[in-house]
Amino acid sequence: MTRTRTPGISRRSTLALMGAGAMTFAAPWVARAQAKTIKIGMPTILSGRVAQLGTSSRNAVMLEVEKVNAAGGLAGRQIEMVIRDSKGQPQEAARVARELVNTDGCELLIDAEASSGAFAVHEVARDLGVFCIHTNSETSALTADPKQHIPNAFRTARQGVHDSIVGGSYAAAIAKAKGLKKWATCSPDYAYGRDTTAEFTLYLKRFAPEVEIISESWPKLFQPDYTEVVTKILQAKPQALYSCLWGGDLTSYIDQANIYAMFGQMEVFAVNMADYTALTVVKNLPKGIHSGNRYIKTFPATPENAAWGDAYKAKYNEYPTNWSWENATAIMLMAEAAKKANSADGKKIAEALKGLTIKCPFGADGTVTMRGDDHTLVGYAIGWGTTIPQEPYVPEVKAGDWKTIFELEAEWKKSKGYT
Amino acid sequence: MTELEAGRAQTLVPARGGTALRRYRDVLIALIAFAVLASLPLFTGSKALLDFVIRCSAYGLFATSLNLLVGYTGLTSFGHGMFFGLGAYSFGLIMQKLGVPIPIAFVATLAITAMVAAVIGAICVRLKEIYFAFVTLAFQMLIHSTILSWASFTGGDQGLRGGIPRPAFLGIDLSNHVHLYVTSCALLILGLLAMRQIAQSPFGYTLRMIRDNAARASFLGIDVWRAKLTVFVLAALFASMGGMVMALFVSGAYPEFAYWTISGEAIFINMLGGVSTFLGPMVGTVLLLLLNDTVTRFTEYHGIVLGVVILFFALGLRKGLLDFVAEWYAYRRDAGEGR
Closest listed residue to residue A134, CA positions, set A120, A149, A153, A115: A153
pLDDT mean across residues, chain B: 85
Is any Cβ of chain B less than 8 angstroms from the Cβ of A77? no
**Residue A43 — φ and ψ, nearest 5°?**
-80, 135
Q: Are B156 and A190 an interchain contact pair (Cβ–Cβ within 8 Å)? A: yes
Is any Cβ of chain B less than 8 angstroms from the Cβ of A95? yes
Residue B332, CA distances (Å) to A1, B337, B338 in order: 15, 9, 10
Is any Cβ of chain B less than 8 angstroms from the Cβ of A404? no
What radius of gyration, in Å, describes the C-alpha atoms of chain A?
Answer: 24
Residue A17 pLDDT: 60
> How many A-B residue pairs are in contact by the CB < 8 A criterion?
87
Cis peptide before A392 (omega within 30 of 0): yes
Q: What is the mean pLDDT of each run of 10 residues along chain A (419 residues)?
A: 53 60 51 68 88 91 94 91 89 89 91 87 91 91 88 92 90 91 90 85 92 91 87 92 88 90 90 86 86 89 93 93 94 93 91 93 93 93 89 87 92 89
Reduced to 3 states, what is the DSSP secondary structure of residue B313? helix
* Rounded mean pLDDT, B1-26: 55
| Euclidean distance between CA atoms B177 and B183, whole angstroms | 10
Residue A4 pLDDT: 52
Give yes or no for a contact between A234 and A268, defined as CB atoms under 8 angstroms apart. no
Residue B2 binned pLDDT confidence (cut-offs 50, 70, 90): very low
Contacts of A285 (CB under 8 A, 6+ apart): A254, A279, A387, A388, A389, A393
Q: Are A102 and B158 an interchain contact pair (Cβ–Cβ within 8 Å)? A: no
User: Searching chain B, which residue's CA lies closest to the CA of residue A47?
Assistant: B300
Residue B7 pLDDT: 45
Cis peptide before A188 (omega within 30 of 0): no
**Angle of the B177-200 helix axis to the B202-212 helix axis, nearest 10:** 70
**Residue B54 — φ and ψ, nearest 5°?**
-60, -45
For residue B163, the chain A residues in CB contact (below 8 A) are 123, 126
Residue A30 pLDDT: 47
Please measure the distance between the N-terminal and C-terminal CA atoms of chain B and give it in whole angstroms.
Answer: 50
Residue B5 binned pLDDT confidence (cut-offs 50, 70, 90): very low
User: Searching chain A, which residue's CA lies closest to the CA of residue B59?
Assistant: A91
If contacts are CB pairs under 8 Å, which of residues 315-344 in chain A contact chain B?
Answer: none
Nearest Cβ partner for B161 among A47, A141, A190 = A141
* Rounded mean pLDDT, B78-85: 93
Closest listed residue to residue A191, CA positions, set A115, A87, A94: A115
Residue B293 pLDDT: 83
Q: How far off is chain B from A67, nearest CA to CA, in Å?
A: 25
Is any Cβ of chain B less than 8 angstroms from the Cβ of A47? yes
B254-293 pLDDT, tens digit per residue, is 888 888 888 988 988 888 888 888 888 999 999 888 888 8
| Euclidean distance between CA atoms A101 and A204, whole angstroms | 44
Q: Are A119 and B156 an interchain contact pair (Cβ–Cβ within 8 Å)? A: no
B15 CB burial (10 A radius; 0-12, 13-18, 19+) = exposed
| Euclidean distance between CA atoms B274 and A111, whole angstroms | 37
Residue A63 pLDDT: 94
User: Searching chain B, which residue's CA lies closest to the CA of residue A193?
Assistant: B157
Query: Which residues on adjacent β-strands are paired with residue A111?
Result: A134
B114 CB burial (10 A radius; 0-12, 13-18, 19+) = middle
Q: Please, what is the Cα angle at B132 between B126 and B137, to 5 degrees?
A: 135
Q: Please, what is the Cα angle at B5 between B1 and B10, to 5 degrees?
A: 110
Q: How many CB atoms lie within 10 A of CB A71?
A: 10
Residue B130 pLDDT: 87
